[in-house]
Amino acid sequence: MKYIVISITALICIVPFSVFAQNGATDAGSVVFDIGSIIDFTIYTGDLYKGDNQVTDITIGSGVTYLNCSYFVIDNLAIGGEILFNSVKIKGNDDPDTMFAIEPIVSYYTPLMDKLYFRTSVGVMFISIQFAGFTDSITQLGFGFGGGITYLLTPQLGIYGGVTYATALDAEFDGETIPGSAFDIIDIGIGLSIFL
């Protein structure tokens, strides 16, 4: 279901911007949509994922699902927003932990050679986490940092691979402070980019 919602959202966003297609993928005025991840390897770390019943969890395949839409304000520099969702079962829990995040993001594409770019990004994440076994969810602020390679298969379609690190700041939950070290994600993913 979540893939259907993301696909419909992508189409709704792509069609209105199609008239703005530029000659170069990362030229000023272009728009990029990232859809991911096709292949994903995610490591969940932090104090919440350690202890007698919980350990660092590794998920292959399901990982993080997200849609990014960014506008190139100048050549190679894009500003936009990202929506992320993930769900993972941690060892010792019957139900999954789920996370939803909205992230304003800034990305820079460094041309390496024809059709190949090195992309770096940084964003501020507004995160809502529902932990297994709890009725209340927490909302907190975090940061995401990423880097990777984008290769243009066609002038408008690219494939990318990269690493993202996200960490959450302190938050209150059930009357206790959850430290910033409680929830960290290291995500290695491959996805698609559409340039218009």
What is the C-alpha separation between 85 and 98, in angstroms, rounded? 7
Please indicate whether residue 8 or residue 89 has the higher confidence score (pLDDT). 89
C-alpha dist (Å) from residue 61 to 33, 39, 86, 161, 191: 21, 6, 11, 14, 12
Q: Which two tokens stand for residue 114?
A: 């024809």
State the pLDDT at residue 134.
65
The amino acid at residue 41 is F
CA distance 23 to 163: 28
Worst-scoring range by mean pLDDT, 9-23, 34-48, 65-79, 166-180? 9-23
Note if the bond before 37 is cis, omega within 30 degrees.
yes
Q: d(Cα 28, Cα 31) in Å, to the nearest integer? A: 9
The model's pLDDT over 115-143, given as tens digits with 9 standing for 90+, comes to 999 999 999 988 777 766 666 667 777 88
Q: Residue 108, class by beta-carbon neighbours within 10 Å (0-12 exposed, 13-18 middle, 19+ buried)?
A: middle
Ramachandran angles phi, psi of 63, nearest 5° = 50, -145
In which band, very low, low, confident or very high, does the pLDDT at 10 lie, cut at 50, 70 and 90? very low
The amino acid sitting at 157 is L
pTM of model > 0.85: no
Q: What are phi and psi of 85, to 5 degrees?
A: -145, 135
pLDDT of residue 143: 86
Phi, psi dihedral angles at 17 (to 5 degrees) = -90, -5
Residue 54 in this model has a pLDDT that exceeds 80:
no
Q: Who has greater pLDDT, 119 or 40?
A: 119
Cα–Cα distance measured from residue 183 to residue 83, given in angstroms and rounded to the nearest whole number: 18
The pair of three-digit structure tokens given for residue 172, joined into one six-digit string: 């209150």
Task: Enumerate domains of the chain plus CATH numbers.
Answer: 2-195 (2.40.160.20)
Q: Across-strand partners of 57?
A: 44
159-179 confidence digits (pLDDT tens): 999 998 888 776 666 666 666
**Contact indicator for 193, 155 with CB cutoff of 8 Å:** no
What is the spatial distance between Cα 79 and Cα 133, in angstroms, rounded to a whole number?
37
What one-character DSSP code corresponds to residue 20? G
Q: How far apart are CA 16 and CA 46, in angstroms?
A: 41
Q: What tens digit of pLDDT does each residue of 57-111 get? A: 555 555 567 889 999 999 999 999 999 887 766 656 667 777 788 999 999 999 9
User: For residue 55, what pLDDT band results from cuts at 50, 70 and 90?
Assistant: very low
| Residues 43 and 178: beta-carbon distance below 8 Å | no
Instruction: Specify the 3-state DSSP secondary structure of 50.
Output: coil
